[in-house]
Amino acid sequence: MDSIIFEKLKAELLIRSFLLTHTVILSEHTSWSRRPAQVTNQVTSTINWVNPREKYLVKMIKSL
């Protein structure tokens, strides 16, 4: 029983840390001092960069 609770907590921690990282990365790339086109390009490239990690995280959580 304890191992199930531990695995659920571990999965929740992974999700929270991923969302925090994702939010920080996007907020760093959306500075108001930059031109809109530049911001859009950087956010798009950031999402593309984060996406493989997101897929891996979802796959890992499903396997728990």
Tens digits of residue pLDDT in 3-57: 888 888 888 888 777 776 666 555 555 555 555 555 555 555 555 555 566 666 6
DSSP state of 29: T
Domain count of the fold of the chain: 1
pTM: 0.35
Q: What is the pLDDT of residue 18?
A: 76
Distance between CA 27 and CA 31 in Å, rounded?
7
Q: Residue 5 has which token pair?
A: 């609770």
Coil/strand/helix, residue 30: coil
| Domain interval for residue 51 | 2-62
Nearest to 43 by CA among 34, 55, 56, 52: 34
pLDDT at 53: 64
